[in-house]
Amino acid sequence: MKIGQGTYLNKTTVTWPHQVRLGANVDIEENVVFKFDGIYKLGTGIQIGNNVFLGRNTEFNITCSIKIGNDCLIASGCKFIDHNHGTSLDDLMRNQQCPSEAIMIEDNVWLGANVIVLKGVAIQAGAIVAAGAVVTKSIGVNEIWAGIPARKIGERI
């Protein structure tokens, strides 16, 4: 696990430490889970930038990858899931391939408490996502989104 200067881990769960890279001055509250969900492979799947806040009980459940930029605020209870289960009637769901797509969070993004970000989503710089939202689509620069599923409700000015 690569950990930048000024970053300290509280009670944290990490399945594959080599898959995690934390930048400098990352503030991590208790019970954050870095779960690289799959068999051992080389590389870094979970990358967190500099000066990021990760609230308590945040969960990264990743099979592909996630990148979080610099200066982001991730409130308590947020979840990042970059994969899904197959839904074909031909086989049990648990036996099917899990399609996955990377998640990208750019710089200076604020996610309120209990936001869920799903596979293939990109959240551009300066965006805000309201507490409890489920993000299924990408969000533009300085946009404000809320709801289930999340939708644009405004822009920062």
* CATH (domain of 21): 2.160.10.10
Find the helix or strand (DSSP H, E) in which 79 lies. strand 79-81
Number of separate domains in the chain: 1
**Considering only CA atoms, which of 18, 9, 6 is closest in space to residue 54?**
9
Q: Determine the number of helices (DSSP H) and then strands (DSSP E) in the chain.
A: 0, 19
pLDDT > 90 in the chain, percent:
83
The three-state secondary structure class of 21 is strand
Q: Which residues form the domain of 139?
A: 2-155
Residue range 17-42, pLDDT digits in tens: 899 999 999 999 999 999 988 777 78
Q: How confident is the model at residue 152 (pLDDT cuts 50, 70, 90)?
A: very high
